[in-house]
Amino acid sequence: MTEYKIALVGFGGVNRGLAQLIAERNQSWRKELGLSLKIVGVTDLFLGSIMARDGLDAAELAKLPSSKGAFAQLPGGSAEAFNETIIKQSGADIIAEATFTNPVDGEPATTFCRWALEGGKHVVTTNKGPIALHADELKALAKRNGVCFEYEGSVMSGTPVIRMARETLPGAVITGFEGILNGTSNYVLTRMEEGLSFADAVRKAQELGYAEADPTADVEGHDVRLKVVILANELLDAKLTVNDVNCSGITSLSPADIERAQQSGERWKLIGSATRNAAGAVSASVEARLLDNSHPLAGISGATNAVSFNTELLGAVTVSGPGAGRIETAFALLSDIVAIHKSVSKK
Ligand SMILES: NC(=O)c1ccc[n+]([C@@H]2O[C@H](COP(=O)([O-])OP(=O)(O)OC[C@H]3O[C@@H](n4cnc5c(N)ncnc54)[C@H](O)[C@@H]3O)[C@@H](O)[C@H]2O)c1
Ligand SMILES: N[C@@H](CCO)C(=O)O
């Protein structure tokens, strides 16, 4: 049994979900997974920070009020977010990075990952910015420092997609994919079909912890564009940047458009896709498409996501499951930690 010391950077829905899982399940993980986690530091721009090399009470952390500077209420806590100190000096073996996704330059999350990897710490992250924009650099940095850099939750939350395809589809030859890759926009479309207004549906998605800090990224397709770049670069060996992907969202769809589609046995879905042509070039797009109800992606509703990989040997291989959610995404971090544990145990 191995105990890993972990520091949490960003303590919003996802890392708070991880603290809750640790509080509830650490004992069973010892037996089931051969590992346990001790939280030695937490830092958050809004809540402040706290560090304890002997470990913090995960249940107490998970219950912390979401008020400005709340960590100052705990013994040894501060209202200031000492990100660099927590990452470099908490004694953590693993840094769980779950701050806001910045789709423009991936910062400051990319710097947080660099600090951790340079310091010989494994990184698990659900943040799409560093992966879509700086994956090659960060992977090389991890390799040079003999540590792991894992990011399963950056696409489709806790539903296994990246690792599943990487580990089980080699040889099947993936030639492209199409998918519903944003929980918020799919939830909004589903609720609009039920008669809710666009604004109320977005508000509900925010309450449920699906939406980005700025939900424009969800409904304008920018979040899907990052995920398309991540999947295409990981699985199609593309070298796409966000500017290579034409992108539009669901904001131009009116309640009348949604109703008209329903009356003709169709549904609007926000689809992210990429295809490799015979010459090896990869083209990708994000757009709202009208799908016939018989289309395999038409029945995917709410915050559920699905992606169909087109393969030479198997035809379409489709994975579907939660695309967003606090606990669902915290599970992605756990799956990354399990992958690290397997890799470390092999050495
Ligand atoms: N919630 C989901 O369903 C989901 C799913 C997959 C991926 N993600 C990604 O995971 C990350 C976290 O998501 P979340 O739902 O927990 O977001 P959230 O908005 O609930 O929490 C993010 C936290 O990060 C903190 N933060 C922001 N900038 C910081 C900085 N510079 N230093 C320290 N703390 C900082 C914020 O104060 C906030 O508490 C995001 O990048 C998101 O895109 C979320
Ligand atoms: N805001 C994102 C979170 C998952 O990346 C979504 O709704 O899909």
Domain ranges of the chain: 2-157+327-346, 164-323
Which CATH architecture is the domain 164-323 placed in? Answer: 2-Layer Sandwich (3.30)
Instruction: Name the band, by pLDDT with cuts 50, 70 and 90, for residue 6.
Output: very high
Residue nearest to atom 32 of ligand 1 (CA): 45
Q: How many helices (H) and strands (E) does the chain have?
A: 12, 12
pLDDT (mean) for 216-244: 97
Site to probe by mutation for ligand 2, drawn from 100, 102, 157 as the one with most ligand atoms within 8 Å of Cβ, is: 157
Report ipTM (2 d.p.).
0.99
pLDDT (mean) for 21-40: 98
Edge-to-edge strand order for the sheet containing 48-51?
Answer: 48-51, 35-44, 2-9, 94-97, 122-125, 149-150
pTM recorded for the entire structure: 0.97
Q: Specify the 3-state DSSP secondary structure of 62.
A: helix
Radius of gyration of the chain (CA): 20
184 CA: nearest ligand 2 atom = 7
132-142 residue pLDDT tens: 999 999 999 99
196-211 residue pLDDT tens: 999 999 999 999 999 9
Instruction: Name the band, by pLDDT with cuts 50, 70 and 90, for residue 275.
Output: very high
Count of beta carbons in the 10 Å neighbourhood of residue 282: 18
Minimal CA–CA distance to 241: which of 142, 105, 100? Answer: 105
pLDDT (mean) for 85-91: 98
Site to probe by mutation for ligand 1, drawn from 11, 14, 82 as the one with most ligand atoms within 8 Å of Cβ, is: 14
303-332 residue pLDDT tens: 999 999 999 999 999 999 999 999 999 999
Instruction: Name the band, by pLDDT with cuts 50, 70 and 90, for residue 123.
Output: very high
Q: Which residues contact 286 (CB under 8 A, 6 or more apart)?
A: 221, 224, 225, 228, 245, 246, 247, 248, 249, 270, 271, 272, 273
Q: Decide whether 2-157+327-346 matches 164-323 in CATH topology.
A: no
67 alpha carbon – ligand 2 mean position (Å): 24
Tell the CATH superfamily of the 2-157+327-346 domain.
NAD(P)-binding Rossmann-like Domain (3.40.50.720)
pLDDT (mean) for 13-34: 98
Measured from CB, residues less than 6 Å from any atom of ligand 1 are 9-14, 43-46, 81, 83, 98-101, 108, 126-128, 153, 157, 209-210, 212-213, 324-326, 329
pLDDT at 347: 84
97 alpha carbon – ligand 1 mean position (Å): 8
Cα-to-chain-centroid distance, residue 98: 9
89-116 residue pLDDT tens: 999 999 999 999 999 999 999 999 999 9
pLDDT above 90 (res 145)? yes
Minimal CA–CA distance to 240: which of 302, 177, 160, 291? Answer: 177
Instruction: Specify whether the CB–CB gap between 170 and 176 falls below 8 A.
Output: no
155-198 residue pLDDT tens: 999 999 999 999 999 999 999 999 999 999 999 999 999 999 99
- Residue 324: nearest ligand to its CA? 1
Instruction: Name the band, by pLDDT with cuts 50, 70 and 90, for residue 251.
Output: very high
pLDDT at 66: 96
Compute the Cα dihedral for 340, 55, 41, 47 and give only its sign.
positive
